[in-house]
Structure 1
Amino acid sequence: MLKLNQQVRIQVDDVFIQYHIFDINQPIMVTFPPGSKPFNEHDISSGQSAWGFDFFAKRQMNVISFVHIGKNNLFESPIFECFIDKLRADLAIFPSRIGYGASRGGFAVALHANKLAIDRALLLMPLSTYNPIIAPWVHKAAELKSERGLDASQCNAALTIIYDPLSLRDKLHKRRFSHCVKALTITGVGHRIPRALLNLGMLSSVVLEYREGDINSDYFYQRTRNRRYLSFYFKHVRINNTGKMTNKRLMVIYRYKFVYFLRNLYMKPYKILAKFKVNVLIKIKKLGEFNRL
């Protein structure tokens, strides 16, 4: 039974869980983080908040957040799945259950959506599976594989997916989700949708707008036009996955890249110095390894 009007932190096998229930008459957000946000024992003992928890809790919105402990964790622990089965009855008291996840978190939301009776979910560049047999293009297949070949693509929740259509892997994963009712694209940012939305000053408003109902597509695309002022945009947009990169389009890209360079010229010395320090440390490390041979 979920405790009301208090923050609760628990651990179930290799998953950390944090929740706060403010009002059972309001929806509850169910969040899972990207793979780059794992927890360790220090994060738990020091009171670190789970990904997505503070965002909703500070606004007094019901939220339950799950975080994987350790990098090679796909939320497939049998003990955790038993917990999910029991949690479904507790979540049934809310008028709706709304999922929110990015990358591996999108995979986890979709994977457990049916058991948690999630009604709808906002997924940012979600992975549909880690099974290279099902999806040969699967991200980091060499390091991460589901032991049971789990496939999240058939979840029944109504999904809104935001992704970069020029990122071939993300595009192929998006196609596999059978209940994607709405797709929004940010072309040229790669597998960095949350970072792009954050840098564009859109992440909070997009998530809150979705929680309230739906994302206004026209306004969304109007705001994402400013992505041409993001540094990593130029690194990805030149990837010619569509075969439509004409010389004219390429010249437009380089023009905006040059404008970006001029606007951020003051940052260049710091970036150069930072890269120089990293290269020196790498060389020192390699030299030390060579001397030990």
Structure 2
Amino acid sequence: MANFDRCEDKVFLFGDIYVKIYIYDISKALVFAFAGAGHSVTREDVMNEVSPWGYDYLKKKGLNVIGFTNIKGSYNYYRDAVFFKCLKELAKKLPDFKERLAYGGSMGGYAASAFSNVLGVDRLLLLNPISTRNKEIASWDYEAKRALSSFHFDWKGEFADGADTNACGYVVYDPLYELDKKHAIRYSTLEKLKVPGLGHSIATYLHEMKMLNWLVDSFIENSIDIEKFHELARSKRKIKRYYDWMLSDENKYLTDRRAKVFLRHCNSLFSKGKTSERLSDADVEMAMSIADILSKTDLVDSIKFLKIIHGNRPDIKAVRLKILEYRSLIKVLE
């Protein structure tokens, strides 16, 4: 393996891991970007030298970048002995950089942290990382039968636990999603950034909230403003995913009382009894689910909420019928 003082868009296979390298200016930071399972590439992609997850964005920022991803059909959760050997060799061949950073989500978060020490990473940005699949450590994931196939690899050997990282930085996660929370709190060297109500797909929904680029850019510049982070995170109330997840079985914290508080947040999307834009059928279905939860503790508030929905979508008969049903219940209770 040659030295990498300058390496523009060169591709490699480290075992069954696809790697693409862009090193142009060693006076700037180097970012290692590890793709999650949802961003694997095909053999055809490898032949066409496509860019792994995050690679092009970081390159356009004028940074040096090395992108890693699994190849579909050879899924190994970065637990590949040949990959380990090649990665160690790569680490020896890399020149000195201003700073070394690593970035990844979920499975990529595991890899970014697990290989951070051998790669000499200074700072990490992890999005809902899986710290390890060692059943003796992450027993909660195994008991929940989450991604069971990933437990089949060797999790007792080297690089088996991302929480062993020496790097500083940040871990972003949903504190209401217990499975991810238990992984996140294992990272003792990282500052915790919490975004309640998005579940496991943090990166996808931060992007939808127009927050992901700001977060990555601020991380690269080592200038994350925690207050602004929480301010931007409040925009989750404008995306459907937030309400879907808050009402899902994954949210173990949802009680009738919390559902009522949650409704107030939902109502913040509306102004003086009118919605700012026409709700989709999916939005109406979600709203009726919220109303159903609320009705268990407060039928009056539930009716008020449904009236707002009905005002926006008078064409949906089910909303009007539900209002009539709740009114009848109130009369019976009286």
TM-score greater than 0.5 by the shorter chain: yes
Residues 93, 244 of structure 1: alpha-carbon distance in 2 compared, 3 angstrom cutoff? farther
**Residue matched to 2:72:** 70
Deviations 1:206-262 (A, max 9, x none): 101110113101111111111101111002224243879535403314435778x95
In the superposition, the TM-score normalised over structure 1's length comes to: 0.84
Say yes or no: does 1:144 pair with 2:150: yes
Asked whether the 8 Å contact 1:125–1:174 carries over to 2, the reply is yes
Distance 2:125 2:203 in 1: 12
> Match of 1:144, as an amino acid?
S
Of 225, 241, 256 in structure 1, the residue corresponding to residue 253 of structure 2 is 241
- How much does 1:137 deviate? 1.8
Residues 208, 247 of structure 1: alpha-carbon distance in 2 compared, 3 angstrom cutoff? closer
Distance 2:79 2:228 in 1: 37
**Residue matched to 1:165:** 175
Comparing 81-90 with 232-241, greater Cα deviation is found at 232-241
* Count of aligned pairs between the two proteins: 270
Q: Which structure has the larger Rg over C-alpha atoms?
A: 2
Q: Which runs of 5+ in 2 are unaligned?
A: 286-334
Of 82, 86, 98 in structure 1, the residue corresponding to residue 101 of structure 2 is 98
**Residue matched to 1:118:** 121
Task: Show the 5 A alignment for 1:1-293.
Answer: 1-2=3-4, 4=6, 6-70=8-72, 72-138=75-141, 140-145=146-151, 146-149=153-156, 150-180=160-190, 182-238=191-247, 239-241=251-253, 245-246=257-258, 248-256=260-268, 262=275, 265=278, 267-268=280-281
> Match of 1:171, as an amino acid?
K
Residue identity over aligned pairs, in percent, reads 27
Does the residue aligned with 2:86 lie in a helix, a strand or coil? helix
Asked whether the 8 Å contact 2:133–2:155 carries over to 1, the reply is no
Distance 2:124 2:155 in 1: 24
Asked whether the 8 Å contact 1:168–1:241 carries over to 2, the reply is no
Asked whether the 8 Å contact 1:154–1:179 carries over to 2, the reply is no
- How much does 1:60 deviate? 2.0
Does the residue aligned with 1:115 lie in a helix, a strand or coil? coil
Deviations 1:141-193 (A, max 9, x none): 4221132342221111113111110111110001112322x111111111121
Residues 257, 62 of structure 1: alpha-carbon distance in 2 compared, 3 angstrom cutoff? same
Deviations 1:97-154 (A, max 9, x none): 1000011000001111111111111001111011222111227242211323422211
Does the residue aligned with 1:138 lie in a helix, a strand or coil? helix
Does the residue aligned with 2:185 lie in a helix, a strand or coil? helix
Asked whether the 8 Å contact 2:58–2:64 carries over to 1, the reply is yes
Asked whether the 8 Å contact 1:234–1:257 carries over to 2, the reply is no
Distance 1:235 1:166 in 2: 14
Residues 200, 138 of structure 1: alpha-carbon distance in 2 compared, 3 angstrom cutoff? same
In the superposition, the TM-score normalised over structure 2's length comes to: 0.74
> Match of 2:196, as an amino acid?
T
Q: Which runs of 5+ in 1 are unaligned?
A: 273-293
Residues 245, 51 of structure 1: alpha-carbon distance in 2 compared, 3 angstrom cutoff? farther
